[in-house]
Amino acid sequence: MAKEFELNEVEVWDGNYAASQALRQAQVDVVAAYPITPSTPIVEGYGSYVANGYIDGEFVMVESEHGAMSGCVGASAAGGRVATATSSQGFALMTEVLYQASGMRLPIVLTVVNRALASPLNVRGDHSDMYLGRDSGWIQLDAFNPQEAYDLTLCAFRIGEHLDVRLPVMVHQDGFTTSHKAQNVTPLKDDVAYKFVGDYVPVNDMLDFSRPVTHGAQTEEDWHFEHKARQHKALMDSRTVIDEVLSEFKSLTGREYNRVESYYMEDAEVAIVALGSSVETAALAAKQLREEEGIKAGVVAPRCFRPFPYDLIRETLDRPTLKAVCCMDKSAPGGAMGALFNEVSAAAYTTASRPMITNYIYGLGGRDFAVEEAKRIFKEQKAHADAGHITTPIQQFSGVRGPRLGFFETRRG
Amino acid sequence: MSTGVLGTEKRGIRELGAEEKVGWDEVTRGVVLNSFEGDASNVAHQKAEERQYADFNSYTATVASWRIIKPVYNRDICIDCQNCWVWCPDTSIISRDKQMLGIDYDHCKGCGVCVEVCPTNPKSLLMFSEAKEQEEALAEWPEKKKKEKK
Amino acid sequence: MIEIRWHSRAGQGAVTGAKGLGTVVATTGKQVQAYALYGSAKRGAAMNAYNRIDDKPITNQATKMFPDYVFVIDPALAFTDDITKNDKPTTQYIITTHLPKEELIAQIPALQDKTDRVFVVDCMQISLDTIGRAIPNTPILGAFMKVSKMYELDFFLENMKKVLSKFPQKIIDANMAAITRAYNEVK
């Protein structure tokens, strides 16, 4: 039996430590990991909890991230509660197995500390790895600060393991900005947290010798499509379960989470849509701009990146006051508009108000996103709103040195 | 198809790939396939004819139609050495209590490994055309070869 | 909102210091942030750590800040780092040095007009004398308590003991002595 860990009512934890504590409280059975900066302390923490008797589980050392996720797939198929952590290059190496995990419907929890992808080699945070996972069939939740990294990791087990879902879940946090920033975190007591997460309920576990099963069967064109369709349906339908779990978490803790978070959107004329730690900074900028200059700025943030909340994004953007929206992508889009721009545009296309939408690529490789930069972007949206058309290229780069960089002009106005 | 030890009720009852094609809402979650119906705790101690094979178990599928030549077994010569049982890549040699009984023609693909490893003289297993009747094949069985003197 | 920027070298304990300060402050019901930029920095490389302290939840996740206090815990960094970056007319500087205050300021052009906002203390010598190693992170916090009047020394010492509780008693006692000396010696 695992020992109880003494916790203060308020702790000062960084995002990594917060996530590792959530893994401990969920009493994860197996972590197979190949640690990588900046997510190393998460699995290091798990290892130390196992070694010191705070978890009755097993840390499996493997030879690569590909091996790490493969170990997780095996342990999860065997019937255990399984989690691991990774970042960047490690995430990229894991990618092949991510698709196996979701296709096999294994509710593994992967805490991803977002970091740029090389080249150039870089350990700091951007969303390249998070975006790399967006077609992998995993649920992707996004934490904006250490408290949320803790809360959402606990919720991730509930969501993924729900018998109507049975899908793997990633909990993202920004490398360094969140993972290495200590803030006030209010943890749950061990027994309360475990009760919320609940006992693991195995489904088709390979260690059930009374019911031998084949996992990872091969299909060709005669079966593959139907299986992928069923998997996609499960992912789309997980929205209901995500809402339920978040709502139950709120009644337990008072902390409210939504699949789409919005700040000051009630009467907003201009808005930023962003992910990760930038959301809080942008919301602070919106508040200050409202007070200082009367600009009605708001912020929209998909808390749940997959399944993408088209329903709630559309609801949030469908207001007559809203004129101009800037979607901010913290990942080099490789010859396209940013992913957030594409998806938010798709959601907004069917709204009555159809705001103007532009795209900023920003923050690559951990470039700081300051309040002043958010304000500048809000003001640029205000200029679009006042002019009645987009006054800049549709896609631009923000915070990069050198001549102004932008692509595609609008044909409206 | 014969029943009993040499061919159970479920063995090879369908062509591989001829299963009913259900829609996305009926496929198993995670492509998980059950091997047996009901409680299979004791399955390792059961003979094939006693096991409750599930419909998706490959035991219930036949691949016999792929075969062009087949091994024929001659009980009169066999010494029950089990070489063919050990080597068969498709577990298609049926043996009970170390006694060779025959061939699972639903799963045998006609590779000929069993003939290759058979140590008797003449061999107790020989390849014949798929169309050749068993009795006809046995009637054509060769005589013991004499050792050639140097 | 109080913002603090630490100028340090990797290995001098700025991250631990910033987190320790945050932990003590959080026990009084305030909201805190403690973070650092280091990543792949090697031991000895110049780096920054940061604190934010407020009564309300802190949502500014940017690294950039306009510091109310700047801690320079490595003597050489006062000369080589841009220690007055993003400063305000009220920014106060606590600098580790063996030099008298006037002599230090005379050598750093950026501090010329800030004489009344610069405080000096020799955290290196203090930590060598008390802890036995050049770990200037806890003494700078003693000096900070004196300059900022944030908490009474005794209150701070008691809470720092809890932060350091995983260390042997000898180390804790040495750190308490270091904090106290810096509190008394900062000028």
The Cα–Cα gap between A21 and A46 comes to: 8
Concatenating the DSSP letter of every residue in C47-94 gives EEEEEEEESSPP----S----SEEEE-STTHHHHS-TTTT--TT-EEE
Mark which of A253, A272, A302 sits at the end of a domain: A253
Query: In this prediction, what percent of chain B has a pLDDT beyond 70?
Result: 94
Q: Is A168 found in the same domain as A295?
A: no
pLDDT of residue A406: 94
- Per residue in B115-139, pLDDT tens? 999 999 999 999 999 999 999 999 9
The Cα–Cα gap between A199 and A188 comes to: 17
Domain span at residue A43 reads 11-253
Position A141 in a domain: yes
Residue type for position C122:
D
Q: Is A349 found in the same domain as A249?
A: no
SS3 of chain C: helix, strand, coil, percent, to 5: 45, 20, 35
The three-state DSSP-derived secondary structure of B65-106 is HHCCEEEEECCCCCCCCCHHHHHCCCCCEEEECCEEEEECCC
Position A1 in a domain: no
- Per residue in A78-99, pLDDT tens? 999 999 999 999 999 999 999 9
- Whether chain B lies against chain A with 3 or more Cβ pairs closer than 8 A is yes
Cβ separation B36–A211 shorter than 8 A: yes
SS3 of chain A: helix, strand, coil, percent, to 5: 40, 20, 40
Split at pLDDT 50, 70, 90, the class of A280 is very high
Q: Is A292 found in the same domain as A211?
A: no
Number of domains in chain A: 2
Using DSSP bridges, classify how beta strands B33-34 and C2-9 pair: parallel, antiparallel or unpaired. Answer: unpaired
Position A94 in a domain: yes
Q: Is A403 found in the same domain as A279?
A: yes
Tell whether C14 lies on the interface with A, counting CB pairs under 8 A.
no
Cβ separation C33–A183 shorter than 8 A: yes
**Residue-level pLDDT, tens digit, chain C, 187 residues:** 999 999 999 989 999 999 999 999 999 999 999 999 876 678 889 999 999 999 999 999 999 999 999 999 999 999 999 999 999 999 999 999 999 999 999 999 999 999 999 999 999 999 999 999 999 999 999 999 999 999 999 999 999 999 899 899 999 999 999 999 999 999 9
pLDDT of residue A411 exceeding 90, the answer is: no
Could you give all domains of chain C from N- to C-terminal order, each with its CATH number?
Answer: 2-185 (3.40.920.10)
The Cα–Cα gap between B46 and C125 comes to: 80
Of the candidates A107, A137, A110, A112, the residue with the CA atom closest to the CA atom of residue A127? A112
Q: Which of B27, B31, B41 sits opposite A210 (nearest CB)?
A: B41
3-state secondary structure of A42: helix
pLDDT of residue A293: 98
- Whether chain C lies against chain B with 3 or more Cβ pairs closer than 8 A is no
Split at pLDDT 50, 70, 90, the class of B150 is low
For the record, the structure tokens of A140 come out as 């992707």
The Cα–Cα gap between A197 and A219 comes to: 34
Q: Is A279 found in the same domain as A248?
A: no
CA C126 vs CA C73, C122, C123, C136, C148: distances in Å: 12, 6, 5, 8, 20
CA A391 vs CA A380, A400, A411, A412: distances in Å: 8, 20, 11, 10
Q: Which of A181, A283, A369 sits opposite C35 (nearest CB)?
A: A181
Q: Where are the beta strands (DSSP E) in A313-410?
A: 324-329, 356-362, 395-398, 406-407
Of the candidates A27, A40, A5, A259, the residue with the CA atom closest to the CA atom of residue A161? A27
pLDDT of residue A212: 94
CA closest to B34 among chain A residues:
A213
Q: Is A357 found in the same domain as A335?
A: yes
Position A52 in a domain: yes
For the record, the structure tokens of C83 come out as 């220690």
Position A412 in a domain: no
- Per residue in A253-267, pLDDT tens? 999 999 999 999 999
3-state secondary structure of B40: coil
Mean pLDDT throughout A262-286? 98
Handedness of CA A397, A398, A400, A402 (dihedral sign): positive
Which residues in A have their CB inside 8 Å of a CB on C?
A: 10-12, 14, 37-38, 123-124, 144-145, 174, 176-178, 180-184, 277-278, 280-281, 283-284, 366, 368-372
Mean pLDDT throughout A95-104? 98
pLDDT of residue A169 exceeding 70, the answer is: yes
Mark which of A202, A221, A253 sits at the end of a domain: A253
Q: Which of C32, C62, C64 sits opposite A183 (nearest CB)?
A: C32
CA A7 vs CA A136, A246, C156, C187: distances in Å: 36, 23, 21, 39
Cβ separation A181–C59 shorter than 8 A: no
Phi–psi pair at A137, nearest 5 degrees: 85, 10
Chains near B with 3+ CB pairs less than 8 A apart are A
For the record, the structure tokens of A365 come out as 């490789």
Domain CATH for A391: 3.40.50.920
Concatenating the DSSP letter of every residue in A161-192 gives HSTTT---EEEEEETTTTTT-EEEE-PPPHHH
Position A215 in a domain: yes
Chain B residues within an 8 Å CB radius of A212? 34-36, 40, 43
CA closest to A9 among chain C residues:
C27
Q: Is A322 found in the same domain as A205?
A: no
Cβ separation A105–B29 shorter than 8 A: yes
Q: How many CB atoms lie within 10 A of CB C7?
A: 25
Could you give all domains of chain B from N- to C-terminal order, each with its CATH number?
Answer: 1-62 (no CATH), 64-139 (3.30.70.20)
Q: Is A158 found in the same domain as A111?
A: yes
pLDDT of residue A262: 98
Mark which of A233, A253, A273 sits at the end of a domain: A253
Position A355 in a domain: yes
Cβ separation C34–A368 shorter than 8 A: no
- Per residue in A374-399, pLDDT tens? 999 999 999 999 999 999 999 999 99
Residue C2: exposed, middle, or buried by beta-carbon count in 10 A (0-12, 13-18, 19+)? middle
- Per residue in A10-57, pLDDT tens? 999 999 999 999 999 999 999 999 999 999 999 999 999 999 999 999
Within its chain, how far is the Cα of B73 from the centroid?
12
User: Would you say the ipTM is above 0.85?
Assistant: yes
Tell whether C184 lies on the interface with A, counting CB pairs under 8 A.
no
For the record, the structure tokens of A236 come out as 């789309």
Q: Is A297 found in the same domain as A221?
A: no
Domain CATH for A206: 3.40.50.970
How many Å lie between the alpha carbon of B71 and the closest alpha carbon of chain A? 29
Chain B residues within an 8 Å CB radius of A203? 29
Q: Is this model's pTM higher than 0.80 or not?
A: yes
Q: Which of C22, C35, C60 sits opposite A281 (nearest CB)?
A: C60
Q: Is A272 found in the same domain as A137?
A: no
Q: Which residues contact A164 (CB under 8 A, 6 or more apart)?
A: A234, A237, A238, A241
Q: Is A248 found in the same domain as A102?
A: yes
Chain A residues within an 8 Å CB radius of B32? 104-105, 204, 213-215, 217
Q: Is A220 found in the same domain as A264?
A: no
Cβ separation A182–C60 shorter than 8 A: no
SS3 of chain B: helix, strand, coil, percent, to 5: 20, 20, 60
pLDDT of residue B1 exceeding 50, the answer is: no
Position A286 in a domain: yes
Q: Which of A12, A144, A369 sits opposite C62 (nearest CB)?
A: A369
The Cα–Cα gap between A19 and A31 comes to: 13
